[in-house]
Chain A
Amino acid sequence: MRDYWLSKLFFDLQSPPFADEFRADRRKVLDRYPLKPEVRSAVEADDVAFLAARANPYLLRFYFLMAGMPEDEFLRRIRASAPAPATKAAHG
């Protein structure tokens, strides 16, 4: 299952000027998206496993790259996340 507004946030952040704005003031950008409280908290906490169950894996990977998480750290966190049924369905 996808969380629409989380996905929309990740999708919109592909715009480089918007990504700059996000990196400068994450909270200000998040205020514009009607994210569920637990989803917003997960974004603020860089909770890879929680977000992985709610967004397309390519968008998730893009988001953390854009947000500046080092590749090794992202790999460590995504590998530690349990494959939830929702993400399992996203396999080719």
Chain B
Amino acid sequence: MAELAGVYAASHGPMIVRNWEKLSATERNGLTLAFSELGRRIRAARPDVLVVISPDHWVNFFIDNLPAICVGVGEVHDGPPEPWLHEFPHRSLPGHPALAEHIVRHAVEHDFEPSVSYRLALDHGFCIPLWKAGLDPLPAIVPVIFNDLEPPFPSVKRCFDWGAMLAQAVASFPGKLRVGILATGGLSHSIGEPDMGRIDEAFDRDCIRRFERGDPRALIDFLNERLPSAGNGASEVRNWVAAHGAAHGRGFELIRYDPIPNVYVGCGFAAWNVSARS
């Protein structure tokens, strides 16, 4: 049976790459420390496969066909199409069709309705954390796209349930496999809206405290109330909620949080404790 080797979260703001030279030494140092600690923890967990939960930033999907949740079942995924990510070292990333198809089957058998894609391009949401965490060679990647960008969004509770189902799917996979889950995006930020550039640090710190505490019901209630006023990018915290569900709602350990105006994002990094039995 497969084993859940670790559950993680990381911000993925494009300006981490596009604006790197303009960041202050302190900002660069904070991000470097955060990504390197994330990478150290993921490598220590020795995952054969990483299930990466990220939004699609208008790369694979458009408003003529916009799935709420899509699982990439392909043998291979395309690298990031963003021209400013041309230094990302992989033009393609290995998939894991057996695990991905098992997840889809398990989902449908448990009343979830994922869409599937046999060929996804993985944009900066996937690739910045994989790259900056120094995961080379890459484990196989099973991409799971959550629509966090264009309403209607999956509800926060549904995202939690999705994560719990994902952990069950991993546990029931008939094969010896170590599987990690990495949720990307968040915390607060606003892109292309009148409050663009605003970081809601009070939201971020409150949010982090609630993830640390566990208590899924309180976390979901808090997010239902506060997400709408934390900037449109905060919607990506849905992915963190799925990771929380996969970790059975046990509290996470914050790796680092820095609100970075030059990245426009409250940058957060965390790892859940999955070794304790619930």
Contact = CB atoms under 8 A, between A and B. Distances in A.
Interface string A3-18: 0100110010010100
B57 A61 contact: no
Interface residues of B, number: 32
Given A8-B62, A91-B231, A92-B234, A81 B194 contact: yes
B194 A79 contact: yes
Contact of B232 (A57, A79, A81): A57
Nearest to B237: A92
B231 A87 contact: no
A60 B191 CA distance: 9
Contacts of A60: 192
Interface residues of A, number: 27
B81 A14 contact: yes
Given A7-B62, A8-B62, A14-B58, A91 B228 contact: yes
A16 B83 contact: yes
A56 B64 CA distance: 13
| Interface-central residue, A8, A14, A81, A89, by most chain B CB under 10 Å | A14
Interface of A: 2, 4, 7-8, 11, 14, 16, 52, 56-62, 75, 78-83, 87, 89-92
Task: List 3 tightest A-B contacts by C-beta distance, closest first.
Answer: A92-B235, A57-B192, A61-B192
6 contacts: A14-B59, A14-B81, A75-B196, A91-B227, A92-B232, A92-B234
